[in-house]
Chain A
Amino acid sequence: DTGVSQDPRHKITKRGQNVTFRCDPISEHNRLYWYRQTLGQGPEFLTYFQNEAQLEKSRLLSDRFSAERPKGSFSTLEIQRTEQGDSAMYLCASSSAKGAGTLHFGNGTRLTVT
């Protein structure tokens, strides 16, 4: 169990640019989640994949956001035309379908939009 890996750890970008984040879940986990955390808040759900199927998207995920999990393994989260309000920690988590499905989180990608 190597844990959930996220890349990059930090990203600074100028408003209007596109950014893409990658998440590698725990290998035997078929469920993958993206959350966003802003200062003083808890993680907020963005989207959920079961294998390669994206089964739910939060209304927080505007049209500028897109997530993929093409082969049911790693996932990418892309933000187009970034805005200052997109500055946050983007957390990826994975879980198995067995038992209670406790989420295992990566260390996140901190995005700063200037």
Chain B
Amino acid sequence: DQQVKQNSPSLSVQEGRISILNCDYTNSMFDYFLWYKKYPAEGPTFLISISSIKDKNEDGRFTVFLNKSAKHLSLHIVPSQPGDSAVYFCAARGVSGGSNYKLTFGKGTLLTVNP
């Protein structure tokens, strides 16, 4: 049973346009959400996060939106650049059972930004 779902395996956008990556979760005990970016042959790199007490967090070109009622979050990248091409993982952390350190990841979305 996948608790964090990224239903789009891939996304292709033009350079300069907006990229929107989506993530849904099922566990209402998740209280903190993160996005990681992964290039081939490298480990995931932390990108941006949001606490469940907020609905938006912005860092430069990256903004994460959280809709708790819909159990949905999204990552917006504006403007998209070719260097953003990577696999993006959505991850969530919860306090269920005291596991407030463990991240649960989605399957990832491959973003391709075309010049």
Contact = CB atoms under 8 A, between A and B. Distances in A.
Nearest to B39: A107
A42 B106 contact: yes
Nearest to B9: A40
A108 B107 CA distance: 17
B101 A101 contact: yes
B45 A105 contact: yes
Contact of B101 (A4, A6, A48): A48
Interface residues of B, number: 26
B89 A43 contact: yes
Given A100-B32, A107-B41, A43 B101 contact: no
A95 B49 contact: no
A42 B89 contact: yes
Contacts of A102: 34, 46, 49
The size class of the interface chain A forms with chain B is: 20 to 34
Interface centre among B41, B42, B43, B45 (most CB of A within 10 A): B43
B105 A42 contact: yes
A45 B104 contact: yes
A41 interface: yes
17 contacts: A4-B43, A6-B43, A40-B9, A42-B4, A43-B89, A44-B105, A45-B102, A45-B104, A91-B44, A93-B43, A95-B101, A100-B51, A101-B101, A102-B34, A102-B46, A105-B44, A108-B43
Interface of B: 4, 6, 9, 32, 34, 36, 41-46, 49, 51, 89, 91, 93, 99, 101-108
